[in-house]
Amino acid sequence: MLMITRRPGERIMIGDDVSIEIVEVTGSTVRIGITAPRATPVYREELWERVKQENEDAARVDPDRLEGLAPKEKE
Amino acid sequence: MPQTLESSRFGTLEIADRAVIEFPAGLIGVGGRRFALLTRQEDSAFRWLHELDGSDLALPVTDPFAFFPDYELQVADADAARIGLDDPAAAEVYAIVRAADSLEDFSVNLLAPILIHDGMGHQVINEAPRAPVRVPLLAGLAERAA
């Protein structure tokens, strides 16, 4: 892993399009500003991890099990 | 020109061009760029979001409003802009289902629904309160019945 020391107000570039600014450091909390292209989503890691896990679990399902139990949908 | 989908779950299917949904950012953590919504049984509450480029990735989805009549969806302005959607209400909304041995144990992801609009799809983070990543599928109906 690349380790970089930065001070508040300084930035890191990831490629040409993503910039990360250290906005403020207060005790153990760091505020970060991120500028990324529209097509690049930005997530808090723990949130990303939870959604990824749900997506992976959902994808493991056997369709026969699902459809056998499916309730009727009212239109 | 329709394309042929070879699916381990569904066999060989013809997918019409208009059924193809582009996901520029893929699904969170699992990728995929082109999907189609498949209906396996006409009367089912579930459909399948199936990847089309050979990964065999498929996730069951449902209409969250059918199970959670009070479901709220709030999309951050930045997310709405990213997906080119002025009005999230204009999109079709699907929630990903996590199946289990019995329907009572099914859960659904209200935190990260899929929005589909104009042939484009996006999995977004719902910023509304009370939108858990894993909630029993029938919880919303049970609450209403109580």
- For residue range B110-132, list pLDDT tens digits in order: 999 999 988 989 999 999 998 99
Pick from A49, A59, A67: CB nearest B58:
A59
Nearest to B45 by CA among A59, A58, A64, A70: A70
Question: What is the predicted pLDDT for the residue at A67?
Answer: 64
Q: How many residues does chain B have?
A: 146
Question: What is the predicted pLDDT for the residue at A61?
Answer: 82
CA atoms of B112 and B125, how far apart (whole Å): 5
CA atoms of B8 and A30, how far apart (whole Å): 47
Nearest to B138 by CA among B104, B92, B100: B104
- Looking at residue B75, its amino acid is V
How far are the Cα atoms of A50, B82, B114 from residue B45, in angstroms, in the given order? Answer: 25, 30, 16
**Contact state of A39 with B25 under an 8 Å Cβ cutoff:** yes
A67 part of contact set with chain B, CB < 8 Å:
yes
Question: What is the predicted pLDDT for the residue at B86?
Answer: 74
B97 contacts in chain A (CB < 8 Å): 58, 61, 66
Query: Is residue A16's pLDDT more than 90?
Result: yes
Q: What is the DSSP letter of A17?
A: T
Q: What is the DSSP letter of A71?
A: P
Question: What is the predicted pLDDT for the residue at A33?
Answer: 97
Q: Block means of pLDDT (10 residues each) for chain B, length 146 residues?
A: 84 90 94 92 87 91 94 86 74 93 91 92 92 92 77
**Contact state of B98 with A71 under an 8 Å Cβ cutoff:** no
**Contact state of B59 with A58 under an 8 Å Cβ cutoff:** yes
Interface predicted TM-score of the whole assembly (ipTM), two decimals: 0.90
CA atoms of B11 and A44, how far apart (whole Å): 38
| Reduced 3-state DSSP string for chain B | CCEEEEECCCEEEEECHHHCEECCCCECCCECCEEEEECCCCCECEEEEEECCCCCCEEEEECHHHHCCCCCCCCCHHHHHHCCCCCHHHCEEEEEEECCCCHHHCEEEEEEEEEEECCEEEECCCCCCCCCCCEECCHHHHHHHC
- For residue range A18-75, list pLDDT tens digits in order: 999 999 999 999 999 999 988 788 999 999 999 999 999 999 987 776 665 444 433 3
CA atoms of B94 and B63, how far apart (whole Å): 5
Question: What is the predicted pLDDT for the residue at A27?
Answer: 96
Torsion sign, CA atoms B41, B42, B47, B52: positive
- The nearest CA of chain B is from the CA of A66 a distance in Å of 6
A72 part of contact set with chain B, CB < 8 Å:
yes
Question: What is the predicted pLDDT for the residue at A18?
Answer: 96
- Looking at residue B107, its amino acid is S
